[in-house]
Structure 1
Amino acid sequence: MFKIGMKLTIETFKNGEVESRFQCRIVDITQNYLCIDYPIDESTGRTSLLLDGSEFTISFVGEDGNVYQFSSEVKGRKKLKIPVLLILIPLKNEIQKIQRREYVRVDVSLDVAIHPQSDQQPLITRTVDISGGGLAVVDDGTARGYKPGDVMDITVVLPFASNHYSYFMAKAELIRFIDGWDQNPAKITYQFINMNDKQRDKIIKYCFEKQLEERRKIK
């Protein structure tokens, strides 16, 4: 079920609510452990060490396209080619299937046009990642005057595997600005709002195709 290179989403909780969400990948698999690279905090773009004993939930996309989740904790750390965290490989009965396909996120660079519902200048840029719930785009510094809570019209060009392009259009709310670091650009995150099932299904289909494409590369 697990493969080297597989993307994992880590969520920590506080008072029953999601406190932080991180992204990481499986670097190595031993008899008992998944070795993951140090997680990246989605809200800050910074690397998190996560202390030994830290508890969290992990979700991932299975080969059937469904999302699965299990509870885990940091059991240790070691140095491979890069520093990694060790988490126990869960038993089969510890893994639950969850209904969150629309939140499966893929890292992809797509053409996107963002038009504020005001007299502000539009932003023509590229996506950093996209999911059925929203997207992140490169902030090239021209989004002056934008602020969290602004509702905007977004158009994204989706290149499907069948060699045809589809234009996806939706309204989205600006959530936050994230500073750039190292080779990672500054970005802006948006959450889709007032989407109908047909719109969301188009994004889910595209994300699923990209997941399959990445899985083939891993193999």
Structure 2
Amino acid sequence: MLPKINQTMYIQTETDTEPLTLRSRVADVDNQNIYIEIPLDEKSRKLYRTQTGEKLQVYFFTQEGVKHLFPSVVTGYRKEAVNLVAIRKPELEEITKDQRRSYLRVEANLELAVRIGEKLRFLAITEDVGGGGVSFTCERNRPIVQNGVLTCWLLLNYKGGTIAHAKFEGEVVRVLPIEPDKNLIMMRFQDIADSDQQKIIRFCFERQLDNRKD
């Protein structure tokens, strides 16, 4: 199972003292290389500058939600309208399945109702969602701190016009300033019903399929 064109890929660096998790997308494939868009650092939201010869650990999700991993290395660059990074195409026997529970995450701007404590409520917009958590932006003056717990209601828009809501409690794992007056809040699910989690996973798979068609 090799990654396909337009498929989202996640990359972990091996050369940094603190490994980074990057996100990219497959733009082209040939016999020797996979050509990906310039990766985005998921924490800083900045583009990551790779180096020729840099070793990487790469993973991607199949349509069924199975995580596949393989080692690779940056082999060069290809200049087009959008510059691409070339990484070594793995042999099939180098690709392994991750049997641990892991979830696909997709970029999505969805409406999220947030409650802090019993009184403070506000609306936010997600940056990405997945079966294991969500990230959203909000004004910096909101009293949100790392390790805090928020009660949330997520509005999901499926293909065909159907709508669903998913309720969950999420633990804040990171608060990252991204603009002069905004923070990016990264959460993982602490308490969510299986039925609501499946709604989110279904949305992620639909969005991944749509991205492949773009």
TM superposition score category, shorter chain reference: 0.7 to 0.9
Cα shift readout 1:164-187 (whole Å, capped 9, x = no counterpart):
322100001122233437xxx852
2:3 aligns to what? 2
For residues 104 and 143 of structure 1, the distance between their equivalents in structure 2, rounded to whole angstroms, comes to 31
1:8, distance to aligned residue in structure 2 (A): 0.5
For residues 195 and 87 of structure 1, the distance between their equivalents in structure 2, rounded to whole angstroms, comes to 38
For residues 199 and 18 of structure 2, the distance between their equivalents in structure 1, rounded to whole angstroms, comes to 27
Task: Give, as a single letter, the amino acid of the residue that structure 2 aligns with 1:81.
Answer: A
- The answer to whether the 8 Å contact 2:6/2:211 transfers is no
Cα shift readout 1:125-167 (whole Å, capped 9, x = no counterpart):
111110011111122x254322111111011011233543221
1:106 aligns to what? 106
1:102, distance to aligned residue in structure 2 (A): 4.3
For residues 115 and 18 of structure 1, the distance between their equivalents in structure 2, rounded to whole angstroms, comes to 33
- The answer to whether the 8 Å contact 2:15/2:54 transfers is no
For residues 81 and 124 of structure 1, the distance between their equivalents in structure 2, rounded to whole angstroms, comes to 37
Task: Give, as a single letter, the amino acid of the residue that structure 1 aligns with 2:162.
Answer: H
2:176 aligns to what? 178
Range that drifts further, 190-199 or 46-55: 190-199
Cα shift readout 1:62-112 (whole Å, capped 9, x = no counterpart):
244422111111122232223222111111111122246742011111111
Are residues 106 and 136 of structure 1, via their aligned partners in 2, closer, same or farther at CA, if it must alter by over 3 Å? same
Task: Give, as a single letter, the amino acid of the residue that structure 1 aligns with 2:128.
Answer: D
Are residues 61 and 101 of structure 1, via their aligned partners in 2, closer, same or farther at CA, if it must alter by over 3 Å? farther
Counterpart check, 1:206 vs 2:207? no
For residues 195 and 99 of structure 1, the distance between their equivalents in structure 2, rounded to whole angstroms, comes to 22
Are residues 102 and 151 of structure 1, via their aligned partners in 2, closer, same or farther at CA, if it must alter by over 3 Å? same
- The answer to whether the 8 Å contact 2:11/2:58 transfers is yes
Task: Give, as a single letter, the amino acid of the residue that structure 2 aligns with 1:146.
Answer: I
TM value normalised by structure 1? 0.84
Are residues 195 and 112 of structure 1, via their aligned partners in 2, closer, same or farther at CA, if it must alter by over 3 Å? same
2:125 aligns to what? 126
Q: CA RMSD in A?
A: 2.6
For residues 133 and 13 of structure 1, the distance between their equivalents in structure 2, rounded to whole angstroms, comes to 24
